[in-house]
Amino acid sequence: MKIEKRSFDNLPEPICRLGELAYNLWWSWNADARALYKLADRTLWRQVNHNPIQFLEEIDSKRLEAAVQDPLYMQLYSKVFAAFDGYMMQEGTWFKRKHPDKQDHTLAYLCAEFAVHNSVPIYSGGLGLLAGDTCKEASDLGLPFVAAGAFYPEGYFMQKIAIDGSQENLYTRIDTSRTPLQRVLNDDGSPLLVEVPLDGRSIFVGVWVFQVGRVPIYLMDTDIPENQPWDRDVVARLYGGDNQVRLRQEIILGVGGIRVLNVLGYEPSVLHLNEGHAAFAALEMIRQCRLGGMEFEEAVKTTREKIVFTTHTPVKAGHDAFPFHMMEEHFRSFWEGLQISREQFLNLGTPPGGDSFSMTVLALNLSRKANGVSLKHGEVSRQMWQFLFPGKPVEEVPITSITNGVHVPTWLSRSMVELFDRYLGIGWQDSHDDPALWERILEIPDEELWSTHVELKIRLFRYMRELARHRWSRDGISTGQIVAFGGLLNSEALTLGFARRFATYKRATLIFSDLERLKRILHNPWRPVQLIFAGKAHPADEPGKYLQQQILQYCSSPEFGGHVAFIENYDKRVAHKLVHGVDVWLNNPIPPKEASGTSGQKAAANGIPNLSVLDGWWAEGYNGANGWAIISNLPDGDPAALDAADADSLYCLLENEVVPLFYRRDADDVPRGWVQVMKEAIRTSVPIFCTRRMLKEYTEQLYAPAALPAVEIEERMEVEMEVVI
């Protein structure tokens, strides 16, 4: 197999490797690498939304020649490629040092979505962002990692807000020539095609790859000439279509994912199913074992030994299940090929007494290790799925927990990185999961941390004004919409940020529970407060869209306009601006429905304190000094009473603690008490809630044990018991 290569003929020879670098997303989390493009043409870099492929297509050749003549630029160029080449050699990585005996293993990671960069918009939210961060960290740690997913030619929808505040869902086709995606080819130069069974017949998938440091992510594409017209759109859109479309997509993801990896020469020692969407991969692995001569029970056991499964949500709607008649339509020939009965097949994914085939049940039944994504979520998951393990008490249900983290180099602002370079020492990023390192955060002068934050906040408001101005010039939006999009916000006012998917359980409108009380908080002339919202509602989620529309109406109303704003089309770039620039990160879901909530971790890493219910990661992260906890102490059972109590707790915190502390200033206008909360947020979040700590835990607790044969595990346990005795 080989990769379709593309060259940029406009690049002068001394800087010709800029084209090579553009196709490896390593540049996206390395500031010096990004600077090579930015310094060549700052305006164009901003106009193309930091997309180096498009940048190199459009840049004036005179700009490139000028860069070659600049000694400082060429010095930076040499530095970047020395670092890049050293990185890609994979010498001295954590995994090589820690597991020298497992260098020939392959860890395969299947997920429905990946958020690595805006130029490949095939993600909707937290699951994709986590997957992208995981691949980056796997690359940094040197894990023998490969990932697979689906390519959605129309991606996830772009959000446009109408004049009445309603959400319009716009789909545009991704121009692959302007992305870092490269087509995988056969040795003869023809596109690689892999056959996947669907509806009792076969369709083909083409394969794209994009390189994330040392980690390749392979994406399957059904929009190819070899397929019938009605099959080409099977994976046209992420999470689009009805249950039938969803089932077909998950067959492509799971069955197709394993077949693609095998064709490419990968034989995974461990298969990590990141959420249940990819669980059909286990069925394909069983099928292959049966073809190799194994009995069905042995094939199931062999498959189970290799699989690690992560569940991401305690919300029922997040667990896909399909009616039996649909499973029969797609899998009758599959179970016949396995030489098992219909009942044996359906039992793999049907809960006791159930009337549908559950992807989560399938994944739990066929995984050796399973985990939730925070301590709280682990507890909830054990309770939720206890019925699958009759006779086991809740605490013994085999679902552990590994709390999510964020990829620190990706989510720290450049200004914060430069500040940490000065006070933590160059090279701090190599050991950023060491809590002892972050004790030195207290040595940063208050005024320097505060001035850095103020600079980032000003950038956020400038960005919002640019977006509003663009909508006005492009679409002629009304004055009310300009106000709603933040045209009148005050960069000196205390600003709360709320950005996430508009699902009803996240309670986006909780802060509007008492409008008169909120108005007094926001309109205080001496201590004003502002709210910035961002997020998308799923196209089929009418209640979520209604909540969003309510907020948009507040944004343009006479009572709240200029104090409440909304950023349209929430994506990875908007997320960066918000977690860098607001003053407080607001999160108030109905507990315990927040599995983790990594957006708050990104904010905390940048010194943005959280104001959140004690759910997900915040139940572990809150220590009383690094932010604020919304606590109502009400028993479960009355949603309206819980909302009222949580809203009252939120208002009290704002009135009595958050707002007074923010506006308590010294003579130099530095809020030193507030800065101490910022420092504590950084100190307690970065080393613990990072993907480096997270992926090391996955490796030691889940990957390494799953890579060992079951007999070796049993022998080790016997030895450990003998030692204890």
> How does pLDDT run across 656-685, given as a tens digit for each residue?
999 999 999 999 999 999 999 999 999 999
190 in Cβ contact with 226 (< 8 Å) = no
- Asked if residue 95 has pLDDT above 70, the reply is yes
pTM reported for the whole predicted model: 0.95
Residue of 105, 99, 104 whose CA lies nearest to 268: 105
Q: Which uninterrupted H or E stretch holds 303? A: helix 296-306
Residue with token string 């089929």: 540
What pLDDT digit, counting tens, does each position of 174-226 carry? 999 999 999 999 999 999 999 999 887 889 999 999 999 999 999 999 999 99
What pLDDT digit, counting tens, does each position of 294-345 carry? 999 999 999 999 999 999 999 887 899 999 999 999 999 889 888 899 999 9
Give the pLDDT score at 711: 41
Number of Cβ atoms within 10 Å of the Cβ of 253: 26
Q: What is the rounded CA–CA span in Å between residue 3 and residue 8? A: 16
509 in Cβ contact with 566 (< 8 Å) = no
pLDDT band at residue 72 under the 50/70/90 scheme? very high
Residue with token string 């030489």: 339
What pLDDT digit, counting tens, does each position of 397-416 carry? 999 999 999 999 999 999 99
Q: What is the rounded CA–CA span in Å between residue 273 and residue 279? A: 7
Compute the average pLDDT of residues 228-254: 94
Give the pLDDT score at 611: 98
Give the pLDDT score at 456: 98
The phi, psi pair for 381, rounded to 5°, reads: -65, -40
pLDDT band at residue 114 under the 50/70/90 scheme? very high
- Asked if residue 39 has pLDDT above 90, the reply is yes
Give the pLDDT score at 123: 95
If DSSP codes are grouped into helix, strand and coil, which group holds residue 215? strand
Assess whether the previous peptide bond of 592 is cis (omega < 30° from 0): yes
For 363-367, 603-607, 631-635, which range has the lowest pLDDT when averaged over its residues?
A: 631-635
Give the pLDDT score at 635: 67
Q: Which uninterrupted H or E stretch holds 567? A: strand 564-567
363 in Cβ contact with 280 (< 8 Å) = no
Taking CA atoms, 238 is separated from 155, 218, 235, in Å, by 6, 16, 7
Amino acid at 46: R
Number of Cβ atoms within 10 Å of the Cβ of 232: 17
Number of Cβ atoms within 10 Å of the Cβ of 704: 17
Q: Copy the structure tokens of residue 555.
A: 């944004």
612 in Cβ contact with 627 (< 8 Å) = yes
Taking CA atoms, 544 is separated from 481, 501, 508, 551, 611, in Å, by 20, 9, 9, 11, 22
434 or 638, which is more confident: 434
Q: What is the rounded CA–CA span in Å between residue 523 and residue 394? A: 49
Q: Copy the structure tokens of residue 130.
A: 């986590």
Taking CA atoms, 252 is separated from 194, 197, 269, 470, in Å, by 11, 8, 21, 39
Give the pLDDT score at 714: 39
- Asked if residue 473 has pLDDT above 90, the reply is no
Number of Cβ atoms within 10 Å of the Cβ of 344: 13
pLDDT band at residue 480 under the 50/70/90 scheme? confident
- Asked if residue 713 has pLDDT above 70, the reply is no
Residue 198: partners with Cβ closer than 8 Å, 6 or more residues away = 231, 234, 248, 251, 252, 330
Compute the average pLDDT of residues 679-699: 98
Give the pLDDT score at 724: 28
Residue with token string 């704002």: 654
Q: Copy the structure tokens of residue 165.
A: 């505040």
Give the pLDDT score at 7: 86
Q: What is the rounded CA–CA span in Å between residue 251 and residue 281? A: 8
Q: What is the rounded CA–CA span in Å between residue 603 and residue 1? A: 42
Q: What is the rounded CA–CA span in Å between residue 146 and residue 219? A: 11
For 188, how many CA atoms within 13 A lie in the half-sphere containing its CB? 3
pLDDT band at residue 709 under the 50/70/90 scheme? low
Q: What is the rounded CA–CA span in Å between residue 126 and residue 223? A: 26
Q: Which uninterrupted H or E stretch holds 532? A: strand 529-534
If DSSP codes are grouped into helix, strand and coil, which group holds residue 306? helix
Report H helices in 368-445.
375-384, 408-411, 414-424
Q: What is the rounded CA–CA span in Å between residue 70 and residue 552? A: 48
For 54-58, 301-305, 451-455, 477-481, which range has the lowest pLDDT when averaged over its residues?
A: 477-481
For 95-104, 225-234, 594-603, 629-638, which range has the lowest pLDDT when averaged over its residues?
A: 629-638
Q: Copy the structure tokens of residue 251.
A: 């067959």
- Asked if residue 708 has pLDDT above 80, the reply is no
Residue of 540, 537, 529, 606 whose CA lies nearest to 570: 537
Q: Copy the structure tokens of residue 348.
A: 């793999």
Strands 215-221 and 145-150: parallel
Domains of the chain from N-terminus onward: 2-88 (no CATH), 94-401 (3.40.50.2000), 409-689 (3.40.50.2000)
Give the pLDDT score at 240: 84
Helix, strand, coil content of the chain in percent (nearest 5):
50, 15, 35
168 in Cβ contact with 160 (< 8 Å) = yes
